[in-house]
Chains A and B, each alone.
Chain A
Amino acid sequence: MNRKPIWEALRPYVLIAPAMAGIGMFVVYPVIYLVYLSFHKYNLMNKAKSKFIGWDNFTQLLTRGDFYKALGNTAVYTLGVVVLTMLLSLLIAVWLNKKTRFNAVVQAGIFTPHIVSIVSVAFVWMWLMEPDQGVLNFVLRSLGIPASDWLQSSKTAMISVIIVSVWQSIGYYALIIVAALQSISPSIYEAAALDNASRFKVFTKITLPLISPQLFFILIIMTIGSFKVFDTVKIMTGGGPNGATDTLVYYIYGFRTTNIGYSAATSVVLMLIIGLLTFVYFRLLARKVHYQ
């Protein structure tokens, strides 16, 4: 007789069990195992020879110069990509907001890089940026501007990688912002016109606040994504020249066979940094975001 109440109590848990199993297996377990690995000197050939070494990986990590170099590079990369992409895609979105046939073509055009594999994109840009035969330097020279070494110099390698990433993602984020802009009722702008608002005021007091949820979303998604940059670095520079483009994930990748415990420790630190950054964003900006 009292079996029914038990089932009533269990039912929700049974229903979410498949999803929870998936999350447990593919999210929770890997994270825990990552932390577990970070405390070990792990032997890939013979698991039995692995041993627990406590905080050793972390102390080593925090005292090594190349880690700080990679961290600094990643920060520069993230800052560059996030700021440039947000500014440019906002600019392009405001321009594309007027629905003309020409703009529809442009929108399709700038979105195209997003559907091309980043590997192909990286290769194409490597050719373009080739110092002697590349198109970019050809254009620079014919305009009378001094040519650049692009990926081949430690001074310009990072900005070159940033340019490629920005070029690839602008179309996608511009699309999100265009969608946000179009969801604003035209009568709001008409009301602002009747309120004698200047174009600058309309943009800062009405447009920006109204699309702030989307901008905030893009900021967080891009920061997380940029901190985890790998493929462009791997293909275009291999972290070089002279470690100029060595980023955190590429750094982790570098120890994948030699010291997996150390890699794991770096991953844990990366995870903490991203978590902290997201937290800081929410604390600083959430009040400025207007959800409706």
Chain B
Amino acid sequence: MASIQFVDVSKTFDKQAVIRDLNLTIEDGKFTVLVGPSGCGKTTLLRMIAGIGPHTSGRVLIDGKDVSRIPPGQRGVAMVFQNYAIYPTMSVRENIEFGLKNNKVPKAERKRLIESICETVGLAEYLDRKPSDLSGGQRQRVALARAMVKKPSVFLMDEPLSNLDAKLRVQMRIELIELHKKLGTTFVYVTHDQVEAMSMADTIVLMNKGEIQQEAAPEAIYHQPNNLFTAQFIGVPPMNIGELGTEGARFGFRPEHAVLSRQLPPESALHYQTRGTIITREMLGSETIYQIRSGSDSFMVKSAEDLYRVDEEVFLGVDASKLHFFGGDERRLESSDPRAAGYLELLRRRP
């Protein structure tokens, strides 16, 4: 078990700075997910922990110890790669055994470890197969077993589920959550898929352009986004954003917080009200997602009921408590912020 600390870490590729003076602490035993659009530096951070893409300056600490000079194999970390990086010429057993052999684990101990791990991940029958004879899901398990068998204090995963089909991905997601619960070690997981991040993380670290946008639990990041980027990255569909028309300020609300109706509801019930036309309708079974055009704005609305059709005129309303406001610097205003009250009033008076 180990905590990980980044202290003023920078990374440059070919003189181009990818990460600048980043500070981050990853807590011991937590499932931390680094999420962000591609090129945001999340994989770069992960590779720094592993030591396979060392930082240019700053310090990386594992359990309080600076690991900058410790080679990858001696940091007590294990990694699952996006393409699994299984040794193609070795059998499943040899793949799992390779790290143990290099660490001079005695033969009897190796045998015992491999058998117990393969029982856990369900590979027992495939031990003598070559990776080329395995399905994508089974290869994924080999990669997991190879990481687990070393009993690392930190588990690193670089988009491990992105090569699996949708159904298997959901299943593996649950298995990973269970695995983390069972092992209790520090997990650092990189993904660009915010659904994966929301479903698995204890803590989400949302990154963009090499900077941390927000570091919080999934519910906090969803309900109290730090800024416009977070609000629009997390959630499917993302938060609706509209211009307020003063000081570059903007307002926003989650698609599931908008209420649709055919008649204009009584004045007092909902704070923000507007009229629009349904442009598209996506019926997903348990819910329906409408896209509504209102003047120059376009809003996504998630509704539990499937009452409306395309081209229908509807009224859209949002409760005052569900509205978010963002200042000109794109930061979200707390409801206690004096400007927020002003913007709220401004929105009410809008035609």
| Chain A CB within 8 A of B77 CB | yes
Distance in Å: Cβ of B165 to nearest Cβ of chain A: 21
Query: Which among A27-35, A49-57, A184-192 touches the partner chain?
Result: A184-192
Q: Which A residues touch B150, using CB under 8 A? A: 195
**15 CB-based A-B contacts, threshold 8 Å:** A187-B81, A188-B88, A190-B52, A190-B85, A191-B79, A191-B81, A191-B87, A193-B72, A196-B102, A197-B99, A201-B102, A205-B90, A205-B98, A206-B87, A209-B90
In angstroms, Cα B82 to Cα A188, docked, is 11
Output the nearest chain A residue to B156 by Cβ-Cβ distance: A194
| Chain B CB within 8 A of A2 CB | no
Binary interface encoding of chain B residues 95-110 relative to chain A, with 1 for a CB under 8 A from any of its CBs, else 0:
0001100110000000
Q: In chain B between 19 and 60, which residues have their CB closer than 8 angstroms to a CB of chain A?
A: 50-52
**Candidates B52, B79, B99; contact of A196 at CB < 8 Å:** B99
Binary interface encoding of chain B residues 60-84 relative to chain A, with 1 for a CB under 8 A from any of its CBs, else 0:
0000000000011110011101110
Output the nearest chain B residue to A190 by Cβ-Cβ distance: B52
| Chain B CB within 8 A of A290 CB | yes
- Known contacts A194-B79, A196-B73, A196-B74; A188/B85 CB under 8 A: yes
Instruction: For the complex, count residues of B whose C-beta is within 8 A of A.
Output: 26
In angstroms, Cα B95 to Cα A206, docked, is 11
| Chain B CB within 8 A of A100 CB | no
In angstroms, Cα B150 to Cα A292, docked, is 27
Output the nearest chain B residue to A212 by Cβ-Cβ distance: B89
Binary interface encoding of chain A residues 262-292 relative to chain B, with 1 for a CB under 8 A from any of its CBs, else 0:
0000000000000000000000000000101
Distance in Å: Cβ of B233 to nearest Cβ of chain A: 27
Judging by beta carbons under 8 Å apart, are B132 and A292 in contact?
Answer: yes
Q: In chain A between 144 and 199, which residues have their CB closer than 8 angstroms to a CB of chain B?
A: 185, 187-188, 190-198
Judging by beta carbons under 8 Å apart, are B103 and A196 in contact?
Answer: yes
Q: Which B residues touch A194, using CB under 8 A? A: 50, 52, 72-73, 77-79, 99
Distance in Å: Cβ of B231 to nearest Cβ of chain A: 34
| Chain B CB within 8 A of A210 CB | yes
Distance in Å: Cβ of A232 to nearest Cβ of chain B: 37
In angstroms, Cα B132 to Cα A79, docked, is 35
B residues neighboring A (CB under 8 Å): 50-52, 71-74, 77-79, 81-83, 85-90, 98-99, 102-103, 132, 146, 150
Output the nearest chain B residue to A188 by Cβ-Cβ distance: B85
In angstroms, Cα B143 to Cα A187, docked, is 12
Among A188, A209, A290, chain B packs the most CB atoms within 10 A around the CB of: A188
Known contacts A190-B81, A196-B74, A212-B89; 12 further A-B pairs (Cβ under 8 A): A185-B85, A188-B87, A190-B50, A190-B85, A191-B86, A192-B98, A193-B51, A194-B52, A194-B78, A195-B102, A196-B102, A210-B88
Q: Which B residues touch A185, using CB under 8 A? A: 83, 85
Distance in Å: Cβ of A210 to nearest Cβ of chain B: 6
- Known contacts A190-B52, A292-B132; A195/B85 CB under 8 A: no
Distance in Å: Cβ of A82 to nearest Cβ of chain B: 23
Q: Which B residues touch A195, using CB under 8 A? A: 73, 98-99, 102, 146, 150
Q: Which B residues touch A292, using CB under 8 A? A: 88, 132
Output the nearest chain B residue to A194 by Cβ-Cβ distance: B72
Q: Which A residues touch B132, using CB under 8 A? A: 292
Q: Which B residues touch A192, using CB under 8 A? A: 87, 98
In angstroms, Cα B71 to Cα A246, docked, is 55
Q: Which B residues touch A188, using CB under 8 A? A: 85, 87-88
Judging by beta carbons under 8 Å apart, are A197 and B98 in contact?
Answer: yes
In angstroms, Cα B102 to Cα A290, docked, is 22
Distance in Å: Cβ of A204 to nearest Cβ of chain B: 11
In angstroms, Cα B163 to Cα A187, docked, is 15
Distance in Å: Cβ of A79 to nearest Cβ of chain B: 28
Q: Which A residues touch B51, using CB under 8 A? A: 193
Q: Which B residues touch A210, using CB under 8 A? A: 88-89
**Candidates A191, A197, A198, A209; contact of B89 at CB < 8 Å:** A209
In angstroms, Cα B132 to Cα A257, docked, is 56
In angstroms, Cα B94 to Cα A205, docked, is 10
Q: Which A residues touch B87, using CB under 8 A? A: 188, 191-192, 205-206
Q: Which B residues touch A205, using CB under 8 A? A: 87, 90, 98
In angstroms, Cα B96 to Cα A191, docked, is 11
Judging by beta carbons under 8 Å apart, are B85 and A198 in contact?
Answer: no
Judging by beta carbons under 8 Å apart, are A197 and B73 in contact?
Answer: yes
Q: In chain A between 180 and 239, which residues have their CB closer than 8 angstroms to a CB of chain B?
A: 185, 187-188, 190-198, 201, 205-206, 209-210, 212
The 3 A-B pairs at the shortest CB distance, nearest first, are namely A196-B73, A195-B99, A209-B89
In angstroms, Cα B83 to Cα A185, docked, is 9
In angstroms, Cα B86 to Cα A206, docked, is 11
Q: Which A residues touch B82, using CB under 8 A? A: 187
Q: Which B residues touch A191, using CB under 8 A? A: 79, 81, 85-87, 146
In angstroms, Cα B98 to Cα A89, docked, is 28
Output the nearest chain A residue to B152 by Cβ-Cβ distance: A194
In angstroms, Cα B79 to Cα A188, docked, is 12
Q: Which A residues touch B52, using CB under 8 A? A: 190, 193-194
In angstroms, Cα B89 to Cα A212, docked, is 10
In angstroms, Cα B98 to Cα A138, docked, is 52
In angstroms, Cα B51 to Cα A220, docked, is 41
Judging by beta carbons under 8 Å apart, are A197 and B102 in contact?
Answer: yes
Distance in Å: Cβ of A198 to nearest Cβ of chain B: 7
Q: Which B residues touch A197, using CB under 8 A? A: 73, 98-99, 102
In angstroms, Cα B98 to Cα A195, docked, is 7
Distance in Å: Cβ of B2 to nearest Cβ of chain A: 15
Among A187, A191, A210, A290, chain B packs the most CB atoms within 10 A around the CB of: A191
